[in-house]
Amino acid sequence: MAIHGYPGNIISASSPLYTPGFASGIWNLGSWPRGVTVVQTFLASGTWTAPAGVTAVDYLVVAGGAGGGGGGAGGGGGAGGFRTGTALAVTPGATYSITVGGGGAGGVGAPGVSNVGANGGNSIFSTITSNGGGGGGKGGGTDSPALNGGSGGGGGGATTTFAGGSGNTPSTSPSQGNNGGNGVGLPYAGSGGGGGAGAAGANFSGSASGSGGNGTASSISGASVTYAGGGGGGGRTDTGATAGTGGTGGGGNGSASTVGSNGTTNTGGGGGGSGLNVSGGTGGSGIVILRYTAPNQSIFVFNSTARWVAPVGVTSVDYLVIAGGGGAGQTSTGSSAGAGGGAGGFRTGSALSVTGGTEYTVTVGAGGAIGSNGANSTFSTITSNGGGRGAGSPDSTGGSGGSGGGSFGFPNGAYAGGAGNTPSTNPSQGNNGGVGTSDNLTWTNSGGGGGAGAVGGNATSNRGGNGGNGTASSISGTSVTYAGGGGGGTDSISPSAVASSGGTGGGGAGAVNPNSGVAGTANTGGGGGGKGGGGGNGLGGSGIVIIKCNQ
């Protein structure tokens, strides 16, 4: 998921979480509470803007774990590098890129095929780089060395002994990880475990492949969580070599007969090594966590699905819940104009009761794919429905939803725009889509998607229907317009043909043949714009949820 900085010191993070005393996620620095300790957890790459008054942060940066080796007794994948520290200097108002490393793929294995696991991806914040774990050595054959990384991969089981990969590569102080364990040659041909942040991977011993090295615990989030465990080494049923277990902190277990287990997502755990003739497990993705003291806080803005605990003492909130916009209409032929997608449902209100200390799930709906409705957004008892899909031959009626999608124009006036405010809410969450038109011979223009503030426009002889305008909200402290409908496509070669506009609030513009429609804007719930005859249709924009605590 993308991470964005916002005006007025609104800050965003992936999968935010607030607990009493700790607050992570997206917020506007308002007026409550003062001097709060803030924790932001990034599960995907993005950016972070240092709030006014914040000059230093504590950090945890864990890289992606490596994949386990494949083929037969593949070595365990090394854990992603683990780096943590306090009082790292930052500049108020400056924007910092954050990279969260992905887990490395497991080495592919099959009869006669074996491969080393792939290294995990690096994770980066400011001047801190944690390196991806080293891939586990492949099983079988005569060349099974493991790879170096944040923690090293385990050596594969082969005809001779192969050492595990080196950890803490490149070197950091304190060390970011440990070495992988050694594999062993015949008669067992067993493997070593991947290194972990807290311990080296175990060597093959007796008849047992090595277990992954344990990870290291961190309490930066407010609870003690262990990260960066190494993957267990794989075994072999034909030689009696048993598989090793994954290290604490998300390391995947090795296997003697099946695919190695994957490392746990957002722990940096290494993937487990493979059994005979199968593939190694995939490494777990990394994570970045920042903690700092902010002057004050009251507004929470969610750009992705998250968990939120109502602060103690707060009994009601104001809210804005916008669903994902509908995608513009898919057509079965290249010479048909797609209709505009309807905007995601728009619901806002004040004094919604909450219970202090209670955890609420916040769901942010994704924008619709081409020819598909957007997804719902939900907070507490409030659900906004995804925008309806724009129509396209042969799906000629617009989809119903928060706001309805536009209809296809051929044959002339035969199909209605999709119904908005579906299911019904009070106040209404959206409006109907517009109607397409055609001369039934040389041109066909499609209707615009409905918006939160207006119905979608009907098509004319030289233009698809404009998207319905959205509605403005000032809940964030700044007036922002959301939930505009997508413009309908124009399939005409007339010199007087013009492109339709998307509705204000993120609606994508429609296009004239042969051009492509524009996608709805992310985190506005805007509908996608319809294509002209030969282009592509626009996707719907994702939704957003904003919560403002009442004092």
- 288 forms beta bridges with 42, 61
pLDDT for the residue numbered 16: 39
pLDDT for the residue numbered 213: 98
Q: Which two tokens stand for residue 16?
A: 């935010």
Cβ-Cβ contacts under 8 Å for 542 (sequence gap 6 or more): 303, 324, 325, 364, 365, 366, 367, 522, 523, 525
Bond before 111 cis per omega within 30 degrees: no
**Strands ordered across the beta sheet of 437-438:** 437-438, 444-445, 490-491
Cα(432)–Cα(241) distance, integer angstroms: 66
Cβ-Cβ contacts under 8 Å for 349 (sequence gap 6 or more): 318, 319, 382
Cβ-Cβ contacts under 8 Å for 381 (sequence gap 6 or more): 352
What is the DSSP code string of 150-204? SSPPPPPP-SS--PPPPSSSS--SS----PPPP---TTT---PPPP-SSSPPPPP
Other beta carbons within 10 Å of 521: 20
Cα(397)–Cα(355) distance, integer angstroms: 43
- 236 forms beta bridges with 241
pLDDT for the residue numbered 237: 92
Q: Which two tokens stand for residue 219?
A: 């309490």
Cβ-Cβ contacts under 8 Å for 471 (sequence gap 6 or more): 346, 451, 452, 453, 481, 482, 483, 505
Nearest residue to 292 (alpha-carbon basis) of 97, 13, 86, 19: 86
Cα(494)–Cα(73) distance, integer angstroms: 67
Cα(116)–Cα(201) distance, integer angstroms: 17
pLDDT for the residue numbered 8: 31
Other beta carbons within 10 Å of 411: 14
CB 323 within 8 A of CB 524: no
Mean pLDDT of residues grouped by 10 in the chain (551 residues)? 32 38 38 57 76 88 97 95 97 86 95 91 98 94 84 91 94 98 91 98 96 97 93 94 97 96 97 95 94 69 72 85 95 73 98 84 90 96 98 85 95 91 98 95 93 97 96 94 97 87 98 94 96 88 89 62
Alpha-carbon distances, residue 391 vs 72, 118, 337, 373, 529 (angstroms) = 52, 44, 9, 11, 11
pTM over 0.75? The answer is: no
Q: Where do the structural domains in the chain lie, given as residue ranges?
A: 298-551
Q: Which two tokens stand for residue 322?
A: 């916008």
Cβ-Cβ contacts under 8 Å for 397 (sequence gap 6 or more): 391, 407, 408, 415, 416, 417, 418
Q: Which two tokens stand for residue 191?
A: 């493997």
CB 26 within 8 A of CB 10: yes
Q: Which two tokens stand for residue 306?
A: 């998250």
pLDDT tens per residue across span 47-94: 777 777 889 999 999 999 999 999 889 999 999 999 999 999 999 878
Radius of gyration in angstroms for the set of CA atoms belonging to the chain, rounded to a whole number: 27
CB 413 within 8 A of CB 435: yes
SS3 289: strand
Cα(76)–Cα(429) distance, integer angstroms: 52
pLDDT for the residue numbered 92: 86
Residues in the chain: 551
pLDDT for the residue numbered 94: 84
pLDDT for the residue numbered 3: 32
Nearest residue to 183 (alpha-carbon basis) of 91, 116, 266, 99: 116
Cα(234)–Cα(333) distance, integer angstroms: 51
pLDDT for the residue numbered 451: 98
Nearest residue to 59 (alpha-carbon basis) of 293, 292, 294, 289: 289
pLDDT for the residue numbered 26: 38
pLDDT tens per residue across span 423-478: 999 999 999 999 999 998 888 999 999 999 999 999 999 999 999 999 999 998 88
CB 413 within 8 A of CB 402: no
Phi-psi label, residue 483: left if phi above 0, alpha if psi -120 to 50, beta otherwise: left
